[in-house]
Structure 1
Amino acid sequence: MQCIILAAGKGKRLRPLTDDVPKPLIKVNGKTLLDHVVEALPSAIKELIIVVGYRGDMIREHCGDNFHGRPVTYIEQTDINGPAKALWLAKDLIRGRFLFMFADDIHGKDDMARAVSYTRSIMATTSDNPERFGVIVRNPDGTIADMVEKPSSPSSNLVATGPMVLDQHIFDFPPEAPINDEYFMPEIIMRYKEKYPMAVVEEQFWLAIGYPEDVVRAEERLKSMDK
């Protein structure tokens, strides 16, 4: 099973930490975010596809051709126009089911294993600040009913944490509706899930890294777990 990791963004909200280093290489508790991400992947993941952009040479140097025992293929996103467009760059490389995720949050290994146990899934958790994320509404059977990117008036406090288990049929639904010239996943997922239902898998451990203060909080959380 392949995993595509999006690592192209400039991490503007994390400045000044990202002035000279790409966000995926910011260190939290002694490890880069990218190391945290890949270390949490289940054994079912045999191959990595990393989409790079801002300071991509640093990411290539850090990961090499084999990262944590998995071969790596790199894709360059020269036009940083959103995660959906980044995924489409990998269209010709994807085979069957795959794991889609970002290179800048920290997830629990058990949660990731549960996610890939489903044919298709999207990981989520409750948040006190749902307006910062993609907000999810579930159907009674536990599949995703609705998803809205960073709504001003959230209809739920259940938010997408990033990782999704998809398959090649996602490419039947190309991105159509940009927001401020960027293409996001929710509008694609809303069309995809009508034909290919996705289980909502609640995540027990998730550290979102969006701002410098998030790095501090994540450090404290991880250090407390090491004791």
Structure 2
Amino acid sequence: MKAVIFAAGEGKRLHPLTLERPKPLVEVLGKPLIHHIWEVLPSVVDEVVVVVGYRREMIRDFLGDEFLGKRVTYVEQNEPLGTAHALKLCKTHLENEEKFLLMYADDLHGKEGIARCVEHDMALLVHFVDDPRRFGVVVTNDDGTIKNIEEKPEHPKSNLAVTGVYTLTPKIFEYDALHTKNGEFYLTDMIEEYIKHNPMQVIESDFWVSIAYPHDIDNAEKILGGVQDVNLLIQPRAEN
């Protein structure tokens, strides 16, 4: 099975930490974010397609052609055209797969949730939050599949926040991101079209922390050290 990791963004909100290195190489507890992510990839994943852009050579130098026993393939996103564009660039590497895992390079996850996610052909990993108004929020059907996704709703209908981890099939490439924001095409638009025609299972995460700002590094280290509740520190899913 293949996994896709989006690692092309500049991570401007993490300045000055990302002035000299890409966001996936920012360290948490002395280890780059992408290393943490790699460690929670399920054993069934044997190849990772990494979408690179900003300071791509640094990521290539760190991961090489194989990292922690998994082959690495690189796809270059030369312009910041968004996450939907990034996924489309990976099509030739994924179109013959039965399914694949999709993740972002700026989140920390627990192993258990991701392992359960890849048991399904189509699934989205969510996390229960006390105040979901800052997030993409998932509303489910009675059978546990996605009914719809609401983006930062004022009056949310659930407490299930989108974490940015998906198991998808190549059917996703049949759908386009029709709306652009700041010239970028967003994956969420593709997903919303996808779920209109394909039932997608909702899997609840056991652990989720997103690194958006410099102070999140300290927060993440406290969380990983068991000092604070993960629900207090998670940040909204970011496109950069």
Q: Please classify the TM superposition score into its range, dividing by the shorter chain length.
A: over 0.9
Q: Check conservation: 2:176, 2:189, Cα contact below 8 A.
A: no
In structure 1, the partner of 2:167 is 165
- The DSSP-based 3-state class of the residue aligned with 2:185 is coil
Equivalent residue, structure 1, for 2:116: 114
Equivalent in the alignment of 1:181: 183
1:172-209 residue CA offsets vs partner (Å, 9 max, x unmatched): 00221112222212221122112221111010111111
For the 8 Å contact 1:29–1:223, the answer to whether it is kept is no
Asked if 2 retains the 8 angstrom alpha-carbon contact of 1:148 and 1:186, the reply is no
Residue 224 of structure 1 deviates from its aligned partner by 2.9
The residue that corresponds to 2:40 in the other structure is: 40
Distance in 2 (alpha carbons) for counterparts of 1:16 and 1:150: 28
Once the two structures are superposed, the pairs formed by residues 99-138 of structure 1 within 5 Å of their partners are: 99-138=101-140
SS at match of 1:17: coil
Provide closer, same or farther for how the CA distance between residues 88 and 158 of structure 1 changes in structure 2, counting only shifts above 3 A: same
Work out the number of aligned pairs and report it: 225
Task: Give 2:188's aligned amino acid.
Answer: P
Report the counterpart of residue 230 of structure 2 in structure 1: none
Could you tell me which residue of structure 1 aligns to residue 219 of structure 2? Answer: 217
Separation (CA, whole Å) in 2 of partners of 1:170 and 1:27: 32
TM-score under structure 1 normalisation?
A: 0.94
Q: Name the stretch that deviates more: 213-222 or 164-173.
A: 213-222
Q: How big is each residue's C-alpha offset from its partner over 1:42-70, in whole Å with a ceiling of 9 and x where there is no partner?
A: 11111110000011110000000001111
Q: Counterpart in 1 of 2:56?
A: 56
SS in 2 for 1:9: coil
Q: Which residue of 2 aligns with 1:20?
A: 20
Instruction: Calculate the aligned-residue CA RMSD, in Å.
Output: 1.5
- The one-letter code sitting in structure 2 at the alignment partner of 1:89 is L
Percent identity of the aligned residues?
A: 45
More deviation, 66-75/216-225: 216-225
Q: TM-score, normalised by structure 2?
A: 0.89
Distance 1:174 1:124, change over 3 A: same
1:3 counterpart residue number: 3
- Structure 1 residues not aligned, in runs of 5+: none
